[in-house]
Structure 1
Amino acid sequence: MTQASLARQIVDYANRADPYPLYAELRRTPVLHEEEGGPYIISSYWDIEALLHDPRISSDAANLAAAGDDSLSQAEDTGLPPSFIRLDPPEHDRLRRIANSAFGPPHRPHRVYDMRDEMRAIVTELIDGFGDARQVDLVDQFAYPFPVTVICRLLGVPREDEPHFRTLVDPIVAGLDPRTQLDPVASKAAQEGRLQLGMYLAGLVDQRAKEPRDDMLSDLVGGKGPHGAMSTMEVLTTSVLLLIAGHETTVNLITNGMLTLLRYPEVLDRLRKDPGLSVKIVEELLRYEPPVQFVPQRTNITDIEVRGVTIPKGSRIWLVLAAGNRDPERFPDPDRFDPDRGDIEHLGFGSGVHSCFGAPLARLETQLALSELARRLEEPRLVEDPPPYRENPLLRGPRHLNVAFKELR
């Protein structure tokens, strides 16, 4: 293995099932710059953490375009203005504060937590839907529909519209797969799905402006928080962000979680007996098998120095979160899955101003999903290990996870 091939190997599908030996190799050169015009790849925990908090590092779409970053593919193009994760302060901060006032503390501290019973009911319904089957694809039959339904309820999509909403979401999520981007038919379907989703949400925003309800969309439209109001386009952009970014991340977190538990049956047995262990398990999963492997959408607005290496202004920077999460300089025995790990300040949801906005929701969804699957599946086992993975090297998770079991409890 040569250093010059590491970046290509990281994105090579052949290494999707186990990229961690590559990350270990990457950490030998914490600031790797393989070729002129190529990205600077950062792989150590402390360097990643520092750069995520460094105001000289930009996420602004305009700065990324100037740096020649083509990673913002057509699949991410919603036809709307950039969401706040593609902006820098102060505009990022303004929009995020408004969004958070409708989503979490201090203004809506119980919005996500108060959905706990409803989430549990959705999980129960999905598992009951396995029926008499003794083998299921946990991606298609559980991990995929669960967060879509939750986001519908959170935003305030009418129950009768949920099936239609899912038909709009399916081609959009499929469009995140690099293979789909090369398929003209699938790519067109994704583009049409984005257009139709935008039109649907615009209609819903108009309804909530006239008849507000107790849902997140009404709060965003009403703009009654202390930080002002969003424009209609900003409401649409934020809603699409929550839908697409939140959904794909949670699907992978749940699926990676169940895959890991089936590989560590002693931990799965502990979870079955003690559902409260799910809190520790999810945090360790976010370190051990994070759904977001690396963040390529960063550039620097001035020269910076990392580990004695000068990164020139306007360079592309990759922050490999998954490599930092297994950095032995930060975590003892990092390649061991250990939910009893005492110090677990992982990078699974990023850090700094762009830390994952939907983290409280994803955590709760995954805790409920894994604890109920552990409780209700009798003697589960993997049908195929490793399972087939998604093409996307950034949002890493199995495309299918076929699990056989004796019966449902």
Structure 2
Amino acid sequence: MNKAHSGTGYKGFTLPRALDANLLNLDEGDHARLRRLVAHGFTPRRVEGLRSTIRDAANRLADTLSSNEQGDVVADFAIPLPLTVISDLLAVPESDRRPFAAWVRNMFTPEHPGQIRDAVSAIHAFLGGLVENRRRSPGDDLLSALISARDEGDRLSEDELVSLAFLILMAGVENVQHLISAGLLTLLRHPDQLAEIRSNPGLLPSAVEELLRYAHPNQMAIRRFATEIIEIGGVQIPKGDTVMLCLAAAHRDPARYPAADRFEIHRKDKTHLALGQGLHYCLGASLARAEIQIGLGVLLERFPHLRLAVRADELEWRSSWRSRALRRLPLQLRSAHG
């Protein structure tokens, strides 16, 4: 199955083709070409170099949280952390980060539908300008590396650069923020396993893999199209038909995972579909893992008495059939004795 490379709907809004023609929406030759070029910039060394940036940003956000007895981890930690990391990755100037953050917020959580269109247009123009600036004055950032990437004389076009930057922004902010907040909630709901992690932080990477399976926000994969007639579960799917694959069902499949509805940090089968598979395995998988591990690790280290500040049935969730994500996660940050 493949994905059409135009007209991806996002919350009722269709992205411009210049932003939509990215790695998610291409197969075979075009996909291989782009992925080969992007690999020149998205190196393990670059991701590893960001770990200190992630930790510093997480600790600064924890400092702000610690000034209050209660805090909303979604607004005050889970959203700004990946946005800071992506801003550093793309070398967004400090003076531009506040409006950049506002556009991203309006794109993901608009107060009215028109905000999405305005935010996407502003981000599109901003990223185009950023690419132009990096051409004139390259630095040690990902965009500069992608601009200079060559493969047998081939290079990324202007639209491809802007589209890739937009994809990195969308995938690198939205999913990470939801996994940090949903991951923390999951741990709080499983105090015995949380206590294990607190006493042995070396268990956190294993816990994150289980969280990617158990608490991943995306219920559905992006739409795909059958390239030939296929049959699944006795149902014939005609060539060209749209197929929506349910990640949530796959991650709770009892034929694959024993006690699939149970959260278990010691689960032996660590495989999942949260970061894609095969041809479309996420290029930023190691960065996402690092952000979630470090973000959760800092919260658990800095706030040993974390607990929900509201009843579980009072938690606010986004209304979406495509993803399950918290709007807010109000937490009591300190014990009653300080």
Q: TM-score, normalised by structure 1?
A: 0.77
Q: Pick from 18, 30, 42 the counterpart of residue 80 of structure 1.
A: 18
Q: Pick from 195, 199, 205 the counterpart of residue 273 of structure 1.
A: 199
1:365 deviates by: 0.2
Q: Does 1:205 align with 2:123?
A: no
1:266-304 deviation line (CA, Å, top 9, x unaligned): 222222222221100110011111122111411102111
Q: Does 1:59 align with 2:14?
A: no
How much identity, in percent, do the aligned residues show?
A: 36
1:307 deviates by: 3.2
Distance 2:48 2:267 in 1: 25
Match of 1:262 in 2: 188
Match of 1:388 in 2: 316
Aligned residues: 334
Q: TM-score, normalised by structure 2?
A: 0.92
Q: Does 1:117 align with 2:36?
A: no
Distance 1:159 1:389 in 2: 32
Secondary structure of the 2:50 match is: helix
Q: Does 1:166 align with 2:101?
A: yes
Native 8 Å contact 1:147 1:250 kept in 2: yes
Secondary structure of the 1:172 match is: helix
Which stretches in structure 2 are left out of the alignment for 5+ residues? none
Check 1:226–1:365 CA distance in 2 against 1; reply closer, same or farther (3 A cut): farther
One-letter identity of the residue aligned with 2:284 = G
1:252 deviates by: 0.9
Q: Pick from 104, 110, 135 the counterpart of residue 70 of structure 2.
A: 135
Distance 1:172 1:156 in 2: 20
Native 8 Å contact 2:9 2:15 kept in 1: no
Distance 2:76 2:257 in 1: 35
Check 1:276–1:289 CA distance in 2 against 1; reply closer, same or farther (3 A cut): same
Native 8 Å contact 2:306 2:334 kept in 1: yes
1:232 deviates by: 0.9
Native 8 Å contact 1:143 1:254 kept in 2: yes
Distance 1:310 1:203 in 2: 47
Mean Cα deviation higher: 296-305 or 226-235? 226-235
Mean Cα deviation higher: 278-287 or 93-102? 93-102
Task: Let me know the Cα RMSD of the aligned residues.
Answer: 2.1
Q: Pick from 139, 143, 152 the counterpart of residue 217 of structure 1.
A: 143
One-letter identity of the residue aligned with 1:150 = V
Secondary structure of the 2:292 match is: helix
1:313-367 deviation line (CA, Å, top 9, x unaligned): 1222111111111111111111111111111211222212122232211111000
Distance 1:399 1:141 in 2: 12
One-letter identity of the residue aligned with 1:84 = L
Structure 1 runs (4+) deviating above 6 angstroms are: none
Check 1:83–1:74 CA distance in 2 against 1; reply closer, same or farther (3 A cut): farther
1:76 deviates by: 5.1
Which stretches in structure 1 are left out of the alignment for 5+ residues? 1-56, 181-185
